[in-house]
Amino acid sequence: MSSMSLRWRVIAFTIVACLIPAILITVACEYSMDKLGESMTRAYKVQAENLSDVIDRNLFERYGDVQAFGYNDAIKDKASWYQVGADKNSISAVMDKYVAAYVIYALTILVDLNGKVIAVNTKDAAGKSLDTAYLYSKNFADQDWFKQAREGKFYTKEGALTGTVVEDYYADTDVSKVFGSDGLTIGFSAPVVDADGKLVGIWKNFAGFSLVTDMIKAAHDALGAQGLSQAEIFLLRQDGTVIADQTGGAERAIHLGENLSSAGVASAKLVLAGGSGVETYQDASSGERYVSGYSHNKGALGFIGMPWSVIINVPERVALAEVASARMWALVIAFVSILLIGCGAYWFVGRLLRPVDGAMDKLRRVIFELRQASSEVADGGNQLSASSNEQAAAIQESVSAISEIRSMVAQTSEQARDSLNAAQQTREQIERGGQTMGRLAESMDRLTSLTDQLKEMVAVIEQISSKTAVINDIVFKTQLLSFNASIEAARAGQHGRGFAVVAEEVGGLAELSGTAAKEIQSLIADSRKQVEQVVEVTQNRIEEGRGVGRDSLAVFDKLTRDVQSISEKAERINSAAREQELGIQQMSAGMTQVDAATHKNNVMAVETANLAHKLLEECGALLEAMNTVQVVLYGAAHQQYSQNSNENIAVSAKASPTKYENRNTLH
């Protein structure tokens, strides 16, 4: 293996590396194909459920048809009851229209409560006349459908549709006789009541079983359109007996005697238990494996459904043909991919190695030139280290001087800040004094408003005094009236004696009122004088307070302006000190950075010299490694060629520099 060239090593490694993901991809594809197969087989369960649902939905409509027919107004025409012929029997005429409109009904009859025929259709769905007159002579009282409909024993369960008797698939003798066929029928019977809700008869529709077999054939045709023409569809009774099937594109056939459950079909046994699903089984006679989807009729739209089951069988080789094809193509693609990758690796490695030789020669020359440059870098590092030491000493002296200046400026700045703080505190005290004087002026203004209120009280007192004068006037007039009333009472003699007493009392009350009014007027006059004196004194005191407040505010304003001027000067001094301190800090930081950079340069100069020496050693090691790479790429035959190339390059290069010794180490 060690003597192999890189080309064949890469090809072998690439093929082995591709086999591992190819195997993993193949396993993943197999897993995916299995899942796809399971998904495709579940589709047959869905198709069986869909066919079962279609059948139940169609029979749901038939369940309601017979009840709807019984509400036709023609039934009220009792004069036409029992009459033979649609021309005489209006109910028969209506029945002919129903049969033509719905197509699926072979016969439809109405019987009375004794089982005697009231009316029957006279034409088929195509409008052809039928010989149904003999039915008028029959009696259906002994028929199960008649008894059940009359007794209300309908085909239903709790919470489902009700009102109709349903007869499972059977061969009806009357349908067979009238149409000359097998008479396969599904019967639907329902009571007929009059406007008062009284039972008057039983209506029965004979639905041809072809309505079910046609749905089965349509489902088979849909499978054929999907390339599944070999599919088989079976409709089973609850005992497993086949009542309809469609197989391999053949014509519809009825197998009343065949029982799939007894024949060992696994899906038939499962579906008869009332479930739905998909099963794979092997036919005992042919050995063919089948995918079997099955579903039990569950009912639809409130109709409980017929006790039937649907089975769809598809040969496994047909059902999973796409999966088998995909699996084969996956294997083919994996093989072709590995083959193409191997060829591509061979071509790519060939293209890759073509420029390698030229690159190796160039790399050798670069290595020898690098050795010479490293020696020169080492000498330059030595000189740079010496210069850096001298510069570092000068910088240290500058940093010491700047530190002393910085300390002095910091003291000046601190004193300026103390002066500024004292000025600001004084200014705040003066401002608070000014605010206090302002509040004093506001209090004087409020006292002025109180004086105005006292003046208003004087005006009110004057109004009360005027009202009191009016009262005195009223008292005088009342006394005069009392005197006149006394005179008139005296003139009246004995009859005016009582009036005289009243007049005397009124006069007394008027006198008392006059006395009280005079006292009130005297009190009001005294109050007015006192209030006027208070107003005058208050106004004088307010004016004095206002004068003092104005003088105080003027003094505080001047103090505020003076302190403001002092604060501004102190602030300017403080700002200048801060700027000087900041400038010195920046100078100090700059010198520190310069000092650090100088030391760093010194260290880097020493490190550069050492690295240059190490680089010389690495160049030799790189030459050895390059020779080893050539042996790996081209084999042992190229080793002598590499040694000759190294000697030629060494002769053409300049003389190798002497080894550098570190003579300057920065502590």
Q: For 599-632, what is each residue's pLDDT tens digit?
A: 777 777 677 767 767 776 777 777 777 677 666 6
What does the pLDDT read at residue 176? 93
d(CA 127, CA 187): 22
Q: Does pLDDT of 80 surpass 80?
A: yes
| Residue 192 DSSP code | E
The number of C-alpha atoms within 13 Å of 236 and in the hemisphere containing its C-beta is 29
Q: Which residue has the tokens 């079909």?
A: 265
Q: Does pLDDT of 504 surpass 70?
A: yes
565 — pLDDT class (breaks 50, 70, 90): confident
Burial 579-594 (b: 16+ CB within 10 A, else e): ebbeebeeebeebeeb
Q: For 16-36, what is each residue's pLDDT tens digit?
A: 776 677 677 766 666 565 555
What does the pLDDT read at residue 115? 94
Mean pLDDT, residues 495-518 taken together = 77
What does the pLDDT read at residue 325? 67
Per-position DSSP letters for 506-525, written without gaps between them: HHHHHHHHHHHHHHHHHHHH
Q: For 516-556, what is each residue's pLDDT tens digit?
A: 777 777 877 787 787 777 777 777 777 777 777 677 777 76
Mean pLDDT, residues 47-76 taken together = 92
Q: Does pLDDT of 74 surpass 60?
A: yes
- Tell me the percentage of the chain whose pLDDT exceeds 70: 78
Least reliable range by pLDDT among 176-185, 275-284, 291-300: 275-284
111 — pLDDT class (breaks 50, 70, 90): very high
What does the pLDDT read at residue 104? 92
3-state SS assignment for residue 291: strand
What does the pLDDT read at residue 642? 58
Q: Does pLDDT of 650 surpass 60?
A: no
Mean pLDDT over the full length of the chain = 77
Q: Does pLDDT of 287 surpass 60?
A: yes
Mean pLDDT, residues 45-58 taken together = 91
What does the pLDDT read at residue 660? 40
Q: What does residue 659 show for φ and ψ, rounded to 5 degrees?
A: -70, 135
What does the pLDDT read at residue 332? 75
Q: Does pLDDT of 309 surpass 60?
A: yes
Q: Does pLDDT of 664 surpass 50?
A: no
What does the pLDDT read at residue 67? 92
3-state SS assignment for residue 206: strand
Q: Does pLDDT of 2 surpass 90?
A: no
Mean pLDDT, residues 319-336 taken together = 70
Q: For 424-450, what is each residue's pLDDT tens digit?
A: 777 777 777 777 777 777 776 776 776
Contact 666, 608 (CB under 8 A): no
d(CA 482, CA 462): 30
Contact 67, 149 (CB under 8 A): no
What does the pLDDT read at residue 581? 72
CA–CA distance from 630 to each of 14, 348, 364 (Å)?
21, 18, 12
Of residues 81 and 524, which shows the higher confidence score?
Answer: 81
What does the pLDDT read at residue 96? 94
Q: Does pLDDT of 212 surpass 80?
A: yes
Give the residue from 605, 54, 172 showing the smallest Cα distance to 377.
605
Q: Does pLDDT of 1 surpass 60?
A: no
Q: Does pLDDT of 171 surpass 60?
A: yes
Q: Does pLDDT of 590 surpass 60?
A: yes
Q: Does pLDDT of 453 surpass 60?
A: yes
CA–CA distance from 79 to each of 75, 139, 218 (Å)?
10, 20, 45
Task: Give bridge partners of residue 276 from the DSSP assignment.
Answer: 295
Q: Does pLDDT of 252 surpass 60?
A: no
How many other C-beta atoms lie within 10 A of the C-beta of residue 428?
Answer: 11
Return the biggest CA–CA distance within the chain: 181
Q: What does residue 208 show for φ and ψ, rounded to 5 degrees?
A: -65, 140
What does the pLDDT read at residue 107? 94
142 — pLDDT class (breaks 50, 70, 90): very high
Q: What does residue 237 show for φ and ψ, rounded to 5 degrees?
A: -80, 175
What does the pLDDT read at residue 322? 67
Least reliable range by pLDDT among 55-69, 217-231, 475-489: 475-489
What does the pLDDT read at residue 663? 39
167 — pLDDT class (breaks 50, 70, 90): very high
Q: Looking at this protein, which amino acid is placed at residue 559?
A: L
Q: Does pLDDT of 665 surpass 50?
A: no
d(CA 69, CA 72): 6
